[in-house]
Amino acid sequence: MKNYRFWCQNGVIFLSTLREQPINETPMVAEPTQTDTVASTQTDTEARIKTLLQNFTVLPKVEKPIFKFGIIVFVALYLIDAIQIALSFPHLLPHKDIPYDITYTRNLLLIVVGTSLIAITFNLWRQHILRTLQYIFRNNRIFALPEDANARHLSMLEEYQHNLRGRRKYVLIGSLFLLTSIYYFGYVLIPAITITLAYHWNDGVFRFTFITHLLIVFLVLFSSMYCIGVVWWTIYVSGKYIRSLLQLCELNIEPLHPDRCGGLKILGNFCFSLISPVFLGSLYFIGYIFVALRAVTGVYDPITVIFIVAIITAYAVPISIYAFIVPLWNIHTKMLYAGEIEDKRYADRMKSSRQKLQKLLDDGKVEEAKAEKGKMDFIETTYISYPRWPLNVTIKIFSVSLTTITSLGLGLLTALQEPLSKIILQLIGIKT
């Protein structure tokens, strides 16, 4: 029995055996369907998301060593400055009319401790951000609309990564450095140069010590403002990312989740850890204000108060509102809305069942009424109250209170450097 084959060429249908098939016939290949194309695109998008999450970094390679070793460098520079001033202290004693102003090193310590506190909390947050992003996308804690979920996730992640490395952060860093330089050099160091050096310029040891001090202050000041600017920019961009995610996506709230936050506790912790550098740094500087803002003459120092309050008001407060309060409130609002929907569904079911029960009783159908009453009891038993916040409020209140006390106390302790230093100098026999 011969095998036949049909094929179409130029609109004409041909019939032939396999031996008679033309040599130049082009085999017909099935074109990919739309379903196959969509599946291929989704697979490619998922692979890109996975690759992006694996290689996701908050800081460029150039900035990583700054936050890894910056604290050690800051502390080392401060110790060098403090030691050299202590060694040159005897050169100041012959000038009884000019008391030694420990404020020079006190203000330097303010910058070192404050920046180190901000950098430490920022590094702790950086260590958990990758795990948080992977948890969000892999466990469907947050998901976009089904038809383009992966595409939206990929687009937001790429934009997030791009904005973290954006050049606009250098505008923020430059403004911080400019404002701080105007205050520190114009209000603290230039008066020290014009007054103190007039009495000690002939002393070569003191002259070397003071010039070295100015250089150390400049290095610490610029490095600190750079670190703070990077941290605040990262917090701003991360807050923007969370807000975009909440606007474009829906929350998957599980009321019976073990975290008692609808499965969204990791989002609440992300918001809190994100704002921790700003929160702790602001409290530290506020604590410093309460003690350290008296000049050597005993006169209150309003310039420093204005400077610290201005920095907190102009930078810390807006960033806190944008990156913490607004996203957290958006999550809270979505959780309330989901709870209201569930409460309405529960109320409608109970109302319908109650009306049906009343009708059965009016008709004298006792057995059916008993069954309906059991149904009502079951509905009431299975009712679940939705959580309202993506965090444990009691634990967070305690944590925030403890953090507030610690940060304020650290600021107060830093501000007490002057009286503590004078006590130590008196104990070792050096009169101030």
pLDDT at 102 over 50: no
Instruction: Name the helix (H) or strand (E) containing 143.
Output: strand 142-143
Tell me how far apart the alpha carbons of residues 350 and 377 are, in angstroms, rounded to a whole number: 9
Tokens found for residue 235: 């917090």
Q: Do 322 and 240 touch, CB atoms closer than 8 A? A: yes
Q: What is the pLDDT of residue 89?
A: 62
Q: Which of 20-24, 160-164, 316-320, 365-369 has the highest mean pLDDT?
A: 316-320
Average pLDDT of the chain?
Answer: 76
What pLDDT, in 10s, does the model give residues 216-236?
Answer: 888 888 888 888 889 999 999
Which of 70, 87, 301, 114 lies closest to 213 in space, CA to CA? Answer: 87
329-363 per-position pLDDT tens digit:
988 898 898 889 888 888 888 888 888 888 888 88
Please compute the mean of the pLDDT values over residues 276-286 and round it to a whole number. 87
- The CA-to-CA distance between both ends of the chain, in Å, stands at 119
Residue with tokens 């011969």: 2
3-state secondary structure at position 225? helix
Handedness of CA 82, 86, 89, 91 (dihedral sign): negative
Task: List 143's β-bridge partners, or say none.
Answer: 250
Measured distance CA(3)–CA(16) in Å, rounded: 8
Q: Is the confidence at residue 98, as pLDDT, over 60?
A: no
Q: What are the Cα distances from residue 406, in Å, to 15, 288, 375, 392, 425?
A: 91, 12, 54, 21, 28
Q: Could you tell me the CA-to-CA distances from 395 to 209, 259, 325, 327, 403 in Å, in that order?
A: 49, 13, 18, 20, 12
> Which secondary-structure segment (H or E) carries 154?
helix 149-164
Model pLDDT, residue 174: 87
Rounded Cα distance between 154 and 162, Å, is 12
Q: Is the pLDDT of residue 29 over 70?
A: no
How far is the C-alpha of 414 from the C-alpha of 203, rounded, in Å? Answer: 30
Amino acid (one-letter) located at 215: L
* Residue 218, pLDDT score: 81
Torsion, Cα 408 413 418 421, to 10 degrees, reads -170
Is the separation of the CB atoms in 263 and 275 below 8 Å?
Answer: no
Helix 204-248 vs helix 265-292: crossing angle, to nearest 10: 150
**Distances, alpha carbon 71 to alpha carbons 26, 80, 192, in Å:** 71, 14, 27
pLDDT recorded at residue 17: 53
pLDDT digits (tens, 9 = 90+) for 245-271: 787 777 788 888 888 888 888 888 888
